[in-house]
Amino acid sequence: MYEDLKEFFTLTDGTNPPADKHPRNTMKVKTLESRDSWTYGDDEKRKTFLEQRANPEKGKNMCADAVKKTMSQKEYKALVEQALTYKKKLKFDDARGRLTVPRAIAGEDKYFAMRTNGSKPMVKIAINICGSACVGKEQFENVAKTAIPTIYALEAAGIPTEVYYCAFVNGAHDTKEFQYTATHVKVKSAQERFNWTTFAPIFCLGSYRESMFNSWWASEYRAGDGLGRPMSSDDIEAKGNFGYTSVIGLNAVGPVDTVKTIFNNLKKARK
């Protein structure tokens, strides 16, 4: 668990491994230099990746058209309008507010209506960036195309939303003590609003294949040669989504369906 991206990138840059790192976890970023394009995608070189990692324009340009298209869809707009009901709800009182004639005629004790803040349950989003060796930058961009409209919709509804950059992997470490390794990096608190400067780095291939890999090699447990494989959706669900309301990964169903599922779950929780 990392408190924020700054801590994550600082502790996984490969220069200052922790004292309790397993002695056989010797693989570092330098061993991947012969595969720069695989590690860093269209950045190609580590130097370029580090220079561009926090560039908000890169993130915006990566999926701006797709995000704009999603947010202009009628179904998406309808979901956001529906979600606005979370901001205000009617409360009936017997002495103040706006007179509700039908309730007064019916003889009900409480016939004055006033709007109050609706309940706003916390939503925790996991952007699960874990992918196999064949995954390229296009798949990572697809994660952004689902995650960003989802976060926008939740913010528009006034629903407090925490977002974490995650990787859920099966068999990253050679140990009998556990099967899965889950890395969580807090990207956005419930009080913060979305901004591209914060989110741009997490959709870069280099952030996954350098920093995430280094976080596993920095473990006190011996890392496997292939660093395992991505957890299946069924396994993640069996683990209770690791406590997240929604997990958006490389196999995401799309922003509209994701937003719809989250809002439906919130609606059920209110009943």
Contact 97, 135 (CB under 8 A): no
**Segment 48-83, tens digit of pLDDT:** 988 888 888 887 787 788 888 888 889 988 888 877
Check residue 89 and give its pLDDT: 52
Check residue 182 and give its pLDDT: 96
**Segment 76-110, tens digit of pLDDT:** 888 888 777 665 554 444 455 554 445 444 454 45
195: enclosing H helix or E strand: none
Q: Name the phi and psi angles at 120, rounded to 5.
A: -130, 85
Q: Please state the domain extents for the chain.
A: 5-84+121-270, 88-117
Q: pTM of this prediction? A: 0.83
